[in-house]
Amino acid sequence: MLYTLIWVWVLLPIWAQASQEHFNRNDNSKQLQFEKYSFNRFELKHYRETVKDLFHFAHENYLQKGYPYDELRPIACIPKTRNFEDPDDEITNDVLGNFSVTLVDSLTTLAVMNDRPKFAEMVKLIEDTFPNKFNIDSTVQVFETTIRIVGGLISAHLYATDPSKKVYLGEEYKGSLLQLAKDMADRLLPSYLTLTGLPVPRINLRSKFDPISVESVSENNVAAMVSPIFEFTMLSYLTLDSKYADVTRYAMNKTWALRTELQLLPMSFNPQSGQCYTPISGVGASIDSFYEYALKGAILFDDDGLLKIWQDAYNSLNTNSRADWFYTNVQSTTGQLQTLWIDSLSAFFPGLQVLAGDVEDAILKHMLTLKLWNTFGGVPERWDFQTLAAFEKKKEFTPEDIKSFVPLEWYPLRPEFVESTYFLYRATRDPFYLNVGVAILESLQTRFKHECGFGGFQDVTTGEPQDRMETFILSETLKYLYLLFDVDNELHSTRDNVVFSTEAHPMWLTPKMINNYEQNKYFNDTVYREHLRACRKRDRKSALHENERTFMGGKLLRFAKSLFTADQEPTKDISTHAQPEPEEQPDASKPSVYEQMCFPVDFAAPHTDKPQWLHSHLLSHFDRLFEIDRRYNSTLIRPKHMQNVVPMELQRGFYEKWAHDKFAHSRPMPSTEALEIVLDLPGECQLIRLPDGSIHRETLGGRNKIRLEKIEPGKIDVYGRILDPQLFVSARCKDVFKSTCDKIDRLYTPSLLYRATVLNGINLPADANLTINRKTVFKTQREENTFRDLFGQNSYNQLMLECTPIINMLMQ
């Protein structure tokens, strides 16, 4: 105790001096003075208030120069309106419905910032703007209108009526926002009156379908078909009318029933027939919100059915699409790589992974978007991760070369990168993500701020500015950035189960609201009751009915081998086939795959003499921090306007403060090669992940995608280690079950071995094993015979491929 008091006495003057030097208030500039990158409360407050000022700058300009129209052009300082001359201009008119969308969509940002006076003022302005509600002759996209208008109004209504919130309006608020949300939902809901129950993409807010061409409603993407379930179910809880929840839930279930045997959803369908239009599957544009609302709906509404959809979809996605640094676009029926690009919307997915508990992989996926920002100063709408062979050895690149890597070159200040940064910081508290936020904030202050608002890049390869301020800039980008720095925000300490919509509108349900809905809900609308009855009747006669379909039809579909260097992703495969076995029903008593796999990452750093809180885990202990720069150096080419910009993770002040020189190092480039095997077997894929990272399988049911590393003495493996020749001395290559591999073990030392490094998208740590229970893996002799035809087994119980042991794949 005395020792502690002495140290306090010694350090107190130092702390006082530091406070005087770095954190005193400058009365002239009215800004806090601090040592940058210290990330103390003074600095975070400064950033928070800066974001707030930026929001009010853009919001006031919209009110003065853009309202009552939908958007404001930040450079020209004039309204951006829907194309009144051409109703068929879907690119413009899908979002701009002539309903002051910026006013509505930005309302919850004021609530999050606790600005009650401005929030109340804008609620009154919305009431005055829509005296006749949304009786507007505008054909709009159902999805965009739902997430921006319906979602924004519902969330703002929650804030206005919740006494625990700082913007609570009390008796002065009469429920107008909820009535407007209901009116808009009633105008959008007829889009679901199709033969399949799947919504068409567009509708006219006044006349429904009369002015709409067949071509404009013949294709709808998966995200648009399922996403209204979130906002419409919230509307049912608030109005007690269950038609909104029931109609949209049916569409969610019907869409999921259209999945392939690999449990992957193609990106788009004909909503009238259910015919597939786009067979690609991934996590980006056209499908992103399907994954988002399956998980978020399961959480907010405590819905086991939605959770099962999320579990199955995520497991299949990880098996078929997950690469080290991103999710690829694959063919939904085969799982093969389909395109060589990823899009900016996929940057949201790490935030969703945080919500699911898969923080470890979220860190990797977020890193790729960070590198894109470092390269282009923003996140291009599409970027090619693999280049043409002709470019691989080039040392200098022309602007035209760079454009060839960026098929869609614009960046409209989308929020997804900020969103994932926010969720990763909340999960890890690593200052690395605060630094990312600072870099984004500084870009908003300099590169993207114009006379009347904020605009992104029209072309990231040239730095050409974009004269458009989309509503999500105020609704999402600035909101997530504000929350990143606002450590004391009420959303971070509330007891409510708050879930953000895809448009960043906070939603929550209290026990009182849930009980009220369950006891008093009704469904009196005969039009939609009859519609659902007719749809279900057709389902009973159709192969689309989920209960009549057989997924994962009990086949050993493929034994795929794909050769690539260990730091690359596979691009081709060779397949063989076997006869099917009847599918076994999964054991419902076993833990779900989600329960077995969901382990948050452990951020405990090695013991040092420097306290943990004084350095960034990612900057100091993540040895793959610059792997992306090397692996994709042929397409991550900086354009001219980014040549002198320092990467955010290497900013001198940040690096010097938060890097631990004792541990910060980069993993060497591997010199090994790898191949993949893909097995489709009867049953359901279930696995148990052990504390050391090993994976245990009771069966090999379902689809199994295993990456094997070809290890040889003296080479560098994927873990950055030089392979010890001693590892090969005791290897056994003789097959104990058959004479195919008839070498005499004691006379033979192999120069090549295999090691499993990835199973179904899950990385195996160094020295971890993949174990299989020999007593339960085979249900029939035929299954065992088929398996033995593919794999051998040595006296160490290691499986062998082509007489080569897989040293960490054990039959026990």
- CA–CA separation, 590 vs 592, rounded Å? 6
Q: Is 381 a catalytic residue?
A: yes
Q: Assess contact for 219 and 169: CB atoms under 8 A.
A: no
Half-sphere exposure of 742 (CA within 13 A, CB side): 3
- CA–CA separation, 146 vs 503, rounded Å? 10
Token pair recorded at residue 233:
């179910």
For residue 68, cis peptide bond before it (omega within 30 degrees of 0):
yes
Tabulate helix, strand, coil % of the chain (nearest 5). Answer: 40, 15, 45
Q: Is 144 a catalytic residue?
A: yes
Half-sphere exposure of 281 (CA within 13 A, CB side): 27
Which of 94, 144, 486, 783 is labelled catalytic?
144
Provide CB contacts within 8 A for 561, sequence distance 6+.
573, 574, 675, 676, 677
Q: Assess contact for 287 and 222: CB atoms under 8 A.
A: yes
The annotated binding site is made up of 502
644 alpha-carbon distance from chain centroid: 31
Location of structure tokens 């709009």: 140
Where are the strands (E) in 552-666, listed by range?
564-565
Give alpha helix (H) positions in 330-376: 349-356, 359-376
Q: Cα–Cα distances in Å, from 422 out to 9, 298, 712?
A: 38, 21, 42
Q: Is 441 left (phi over 0), alpha (psi -120 to 50) or beta?
A: alpha
Handedness of CA 473, 474, 475, 481 (dihedral sign): positive
- Tell me the one-letter amino acid at 8: V
Give alpha helix (H) positions in 148-193: 151-161, 176-188
The annotated binding site for Ca(2+) is made up of 502
Which of 416, 569, 684, 709 is labelled catalytic?
416
How many helices and strands in the chain, by DSSP H and E?
Answer: 29, 28
- CA–CA separation, 314 vs 295, rounded Å? 10
Q: Cα–Cα distances in Å, from 472 out to 97, 229, 452?
A: 15, 20, 16
Which of 105, 381, 384, 649 is labelled catalytic?
381
Q: Is 496 a catalytic residue?
A: no
- CA–CA separation, 253 vs 58, rounded Å? 40
Location of structure tokens 């939603």: 507
Q: Is 567 a catalytic residue?
A: no
- CA–CA separation, 763 vs 241, rounded Å? 46
Which of 115, 231, 288, 573 is labelled catalytic?
288
Partners of 673 in beta bridges: 565, 710
- Tell me the one-letter amino acid at 656: E
- CA–CA separation, 804 vs 582, rounded Å? 31
Enzyme catalytic residues? 144, 288, 381, 416
